[in-house]
Structure 1
Amino acid sequence: MTKLASAPWRRFLGAGLLALTPFLTSAALAQSDAPAPEAGTGRIAKQAGTAAHDMVAAANPLAAQAGREILGAGGSAVDAAIAVQLVLNLVEPQSSGIGGGAFLLYWDKTKLITLDGRETAPAAAKPERFLGPDGKPMKFYDAVVGGRSVGVPGTLRLLEAAHKRWGKLSWPQVIAPAIRLAEDGFTISPRLNGLLGQEKFLQNDPIARGYFYQTDGTPKPAGAVLRNPAFARTLRDIAEKGADVFYSGDIAADIVASVTRHATNPGDMTLEDLKSYKVEEREPVCGSYRTYRICGMGPPSSGGIAVQQIMSVLETQDMAAMTLGPEAVHWMAEAGRLAFADRALYLGDPAFVNVPVRGLVDPGYLKSRAAIVNPDASMGRATAGDPPFQKTEFRFAPSDGIEFGTSHISVVDRDGNAVSMTTTIEDGFGARIMTRSGFLLNNELTDFNFAPVEEDKPVANRVEPGKRPRSSMAPTVVLDGGGKLYAVLGSPGGSQIIPYVVKSLVGILDWKLDPQTAVDLPNFGSRNGPTEIEAGTEAETWKAALEAKGHEVTVIEMNSGIQVIVVGPGGLTGGADSRREGVAIGN
């Protein structure tokens, strides 16, 4: 067993957690438990994971193993999710971390609680933030790279808030695995190496360049050991003093300096912005689907509402008899058009926009929306509906990016509690700013619409001080007909998260597929534009049949990262998207 680095940390590691250290401190381990990619596909061949008592599904084997061991040591689903998130900050830094934000759904045996840890705009932010000198919206990466795009991070405050309510192990105990990994190192995965090789902006940040790249400018190779002592020091401070040390003091000062002193694109975040950040508890968005109940995150996420709207349209059809192919894609795409049309007009931060949640998921309204779908022809582009209980004076221009800076964590513990958490820094590697404290900062403010006015009306998702940008993240919990936990799932993928989650739900609930098979189905859908089908998959063969129904079809990469756990009478079954390197494992 590797010796603990400092004596004070021995008291934070109980006998159960000491078993973690051989795995989490072995720099040579890397992805030893992960299957190899299938020849010629680039995908990892996986089988559904099974477990008798508890399970974690996450986007990297080291992160999943940390969560599994926390569960084995008697930790709760929240304890495991914290350990997973902090390890992901190291092994999947392009996707999430304490420099970003998250939405968390917690199933507490009989009730669902949702917490909003979304980033907020600084107090100095103005609606014209992303307009250039000519008054026109900036080019995307001109806005992304630098301090201008950084929102006040919410993930750490969210994790602490959840731990205070539902944690079983101590705060230092659940942080300890990530500290060990940061100090002793881990091997760079092929996926991280490949993304570093494609990245165009990260090397402009001197701290990130020294951490991720070699002196000749090439990424550190897959298999090389990466250590992050700065992040280990940050986590030690957080473990000892709580999240307050992140939102005030030296770490906060480091964040503010990194944002405001950016050489080419500085931001305006202040220490007061960090100090005043608060996690919000939101009302879950729930609705029926056949014999199930599907629940998700409410505004400022559009995910829960959009998923519910699409599933309500599909409920009018016999999806079980409709095998995977052009007909099923037609219905899912048309339902997606309707949902995204409503999303574009009505969704935003509920503290700033009167979002008609009740009307958007009203059964009568959704039945009328379903009646719009022609089974034989695409509608092309949908218009927003007129739901009841609504009052809006805004325009809402869509902002439908595809990102790589998001991850999803699903956990079920042995007491039957569960976490579904989608976590993000928005674009891959966020704002391309790495703090001296050892983590990347988000570019979440570019989830706001760049143009603050459309057709002489204010855009609901425009930048405003303290506002949370609209999100598509869709952490989801499914209950069975008896009100018991049936599944937890979610995915990264920008606005494509919504069709990724819908595809998985139909695969599990209608087609009765095991979770791994369901998440590995080809991706497809419409965000009220072209019908998108995944390149390099069976979906390409459906193009002609869809075009015959009037669909404009685009074949694109659709890099989901769906993590699913299903609860059955014999235990737990999990699936981790083969498009990424994750696993579903348990005890």
Structure 2
Amino acid sequence: MQIPSHPASSVSPRYSLVALASIVLLSLAGCGSSGGNDDKLVSTACEATTNDGSVVVGSGLPGDPSFPELASGYRTGKKAVEGNKYMVVTANPLASKAGCEVLKSGGSAVDAAVAVQMVLGLVEPQSSGIGGGAFMLYYDAASKKVTAYDGRETAPAAATPDYLRYNSDSDKTVPQPSARASGRAVGTPGAVRMLDLAHKDHGSKPWKDLIQPGIDLATNGFKISGRMSDALAGAKTALQADADAIALYFNADGTTKSLGQTFTNPAYAATLTKIATGGADAFYTGAVAQGIVNKIGVTQNVTTGAPITPGVTTMADLAGYQAKKRDAVCTTYRAKYVICGMPPPSSGGIAVAQAMGVLENFDLAPHKPTALDLEGGKPTAMGVHLVSEAERLAYADRDVYVADTDFTPLPGPLGSTLLDKGYLKSRAALVSTKQSMGTATAGQFGNTRLGVSKVAENGTTHMTIVDAKGNVVSMTTTVEAGMGSYHITQGFVLNNQLTDFSATPTSADGLPIANKLEAGKRPRSSMAPTLVFDANADGTPGAFKMATGSPGGSTIIQFVTKTLVGALDWGLDAQQATNLVNFGAANSKTTNLGGEHPNIMAANNGDADPLVQALRAMGHTVSVNAQSSGVGTVIRTASSAGEARLTGGADPRREGVVLGDTYKVKP
């Protein structure tokens, strides 16, 4: 998709995400003072900063945001980070640092994404890694194009529609010990091949140099964070089935490695070294690929001796995997913006576009949050209601129509079916401002009849990156559930992505399910990396405005939608929109209201919270369970002098930070 030029973007943090001590105050190489106010402004690079100083991430000195702390549901007080040239937001400080150092040295946004992914697979193995898949939206500032890169995992060539529910055609028992923890759950990983494809298109640094930060960290070690520690402890029993997991993640006394322990992963370093020197082919062929195939074929729990149902993935499945370039899903919003998202096999781009397309039929401005503070304020009942109802309608269509379009086509061209403005206006007419619809019915398109498929999704992590040339990456990457399939090989976690398929090929009423499992097919996802542009008068995309995305399984659609509404309709800054209470609904009577947020009174199921009471009065069944989003947002703004700048926000529900070339006022 063609996108007109825009003013040069800028990037760098002014505020930290934790209390930091002063270490470095003046400019680092490659980052000079900002124009226009040179006598008042200085820049530093790839440091977390406060008004009283800055600290290099990973230094281990006081204030280092990578210093391990107990996992927290929500960290208050985060402020938007302001940048001048480049910026990276990830869910882990060490990953942000790796990406920022690439940008500091002149690397592209894709270069930084490669480095970030290799580090995330080490420091956040519960969420993503080279044994999983990813979706990337990339904006090329020179060509003004948005490209969608599909690195979603695929089912093996020998898989059948009953692959997840029966051991075989003659053995109708379920896979052992479960579909997720069996070899059947593992899809052919796609992240490495996708990053290789994007790097060949848009990389500027040598591939091997981008892998090196991950190799160094795996070799030298890092201190385990609270989230990784909790993930290992929570998966202890399942991980004990796997010999490689025991060797990697357990202490000699049988406990899992925990908060603050120094963790090294020589096997991962060796794997990354092969990828660094041999390229992506070294992952998909040879010893690494054979190790993946062997692990998928394991038949026995090493601790108990209980059977494990093997998968049928072969070396040919690995060698034949292809990452794909696809057309982004781009729609206008209120004639002011163009929102671009990921196409199928992700449902995220279409569902977010549908929700926003319904919402543009309502004036949301009067329903902005009240008592606005750093945390995004207190959502209003009508604001939550309208967004949730729009999402119910979007999920209803998603559950019926969206799957891997290489196998199951959509009901027609998006512009004349699911994303047609007239269709979305008719869907908006189904929304009452007084009462929740509870459960929505999917729209009808001709004689198309498909069964409803609701599949629980989990896991993932997200990165948002802008480089000094204005190129942008919004990338969501995953191994599916926490610690994936619990199968470890050569230092990395194998995904359980195939459980995102419908385990049954037909619905209870006998209709075919679009998201049924088929050989070579990619399971439907909810990942929703998103780019926003100012709209030109003719509705085409203009200047880059915003990039965001989140982990969170099927609730990703809700997390991204609330962030877009917060920024575009309610004027929240990048951190406030990210911080904002997570709210929304899939297609059920339950409306989510993230009880981890300090502005929600979650005690006693929210009975004392006026917002919860108001929503219940409108017919919503309200859940105040904690919502573990991981939103990473960058918004292009203008300084007081009118210069284009970037501001970033990292989700306070995870451990991430925003880093770039820091823009701040001298004391």
SS at match of 2:587: coil
Q: Distance in 1 between matches of 2:66 and 2:77?
A: 10
Which residue matches 1:376? 434
The equivalent of 2:613 in structure 1 is 544
Kindly state the Cα deviation for residue 326 of structure 1 after the two structures are TM-superposed.
Answer: 1.0
Do structure 1's residue 336 and structure 2's residue 391 form an aligned pair?
yes
Structure 2 counterpart of 1:557: 626
1:340-489 to 2 correspondence within 5 Å?
A: 340-356=395-411, 357-358=414-415, 359-387=417-445, 392-401=448-457, 403=458, 405-435=459-489, 437-454=490-507, 455-482=509-536, 483-489=542-548
Instruction: Give the aligned residue type for 2:496.
Output: N
Match of 1:166 in 2: 202
- Identify the range of structure 1 (348-357 vs 301-310) with the bigger mean alpha-carbon deviation: 348-357
Residue 81 of structure 2 aligns to which amino acid in structure 1? G
Aligned partner of residue 479 in structure 2, secondary structure: strand
2:270 paired with 1:233: yes
- The 3 A distance-change label for structure 1 pair 267 and 96 is same
Q: Deviations over 1:504-546 (max 9, x none)?
A: 0011111111111111111111101111221243344222111
SS in 2 for 1:94: coil
Q: Deviation digits for residues 226-248 of structure 1, max 9, x if unmatched?
A: 11111111111111111011111
Q: Does 1:292 align with 2:362?
A: no
Structure 1: gaps (5+ residues): 1-14
Partner residue, 2:252 = 215
Deviations 1:252-311 (A, max 9, x none): 000000101242121110000001100111111111112011000011110000001111
Tell me if structure 2 keeps the 8 A contact 1:137–1:451: no
- CA distance change for structure 1 residues 27 and 512 in 2, over 3 Å: closer, same or farther? closer
State percent identity of aligned pairs. Answer: 48
Q: Which amino acid aligns with 1:123?
A: A
2:350 to 291, 300, 305: 305
Query: 1:246 & 1:331 partners in 2: Cα distance?
Result: 46
Larger Rg, first or second structure (1 or 2):
2
Distance 1:141 1:567, change over 3 A: farther
Cα pair 1:24 1:181 within 8 Å, conserved: no
Query: Distance between the aligned counterparts of 1:524 and 1:249, measured in 2?
Result: 46
Residue 497 of structure 1, aligned match among 550, 556, 563: 556
Matches of 1:26 and 1:569, distance apart in 2: 31
- State whether structure 2 residue 182 is matched by structure 1 residue 146: yes
Note the alpha carbon deviations across 1:355-410, whole angstroms, 9 max, x for none. 133311111111111111011011111000124xx664432321133x2x300010
**Using a 3 Å threshold, how does the CA distance of structure 1 residues 49 and 27 change in structure 2: closer, same or farther?**
closer
Structure 2 partner of 1:113: 147
Separation in 1 of the partners of 2:242 and 2:83? 43
Q: Report the CA distance between 1:572 and its aligned residue.
A: 1.1
Q: Is the Cα–Cα contact under 8 Å of residues 89 and 650 in structure 2 kept in the other structure?
A: yes
1:273 matches 2:317 = yes
Shift of 1:25: 11
Partner of 1:193: 229
Instruction: Report if the CA contact (8 A) 2:176-2:309 is conserved.
Output: no
CA 1:228/1:391 → structure 2, altered by over 3 Å: closer, same or farther?
farther
- The aligned amino acid for 1:545 is A
Partner in structure 2 of residue 3 of structure 1 = none
Instruction: Find 2:593's aligned residue among 516, 523, 533.
Output: 533
1:203 corresponds to which residue?
240
Matches within 5 A, 1:97-112: 97-109=129-141, 110-112=144-146
1:6 alignment counterpart: none
* Count of residues paired in the alignment: 564
Q: Name the SS of the counterpart of 2:535 in structure 1.
A: coil
Call closer, same or farther: CA 1:471–1:42 in 2, change over 3 Å.
Answer: closer
- For 1:516 and 1:203, how far apart are their aligned partners in 2? 39
Which 4+ stretches in 1 moved above 6 angstroms? 23-27, 35-41, 133-137
1:78 to 97, 100, 110: 110
Distance 2:133 2:563 in 1: 24
Shift of 1:34: 5.1
The TM-score with structure 2 as length reference comes to 0.81
Q: Distance in 2 between matches of 1:149 and 1:55?
A: 36
Tell me the residue number matched to 1:65.
97
CA contact (8 A) 1:37 1:44 kept: no
Partner of 1:583: 657
Cα distance in 1 for partners of 2:449, 2:355 equals 25
Q: CA RMSD in A?
A: 2.4
The CA deviation string for residues 180-212 of structure 1, in whole angstroms up to 9 with x for no partner, is 111111110112112222224122212112211
The answer (yes or no) to whether the contact 2:57–2:64 under 8 Å persists in 1 is no
Write 1 or 2 for the structure with the bigger share of helix.
1
Which of 156, 159, 165 is equivalent to 1:131?
Answer: 165
In 2, Cα distance between equivalents of 1:383 and 1:137: 34
Instruction: Tell me the secondary structure at the aligned position of residue 204 of structure 1.
Output: coil
Judge conservation of contact 1:477–1:487 (CA < 8 Å) in 2: yes
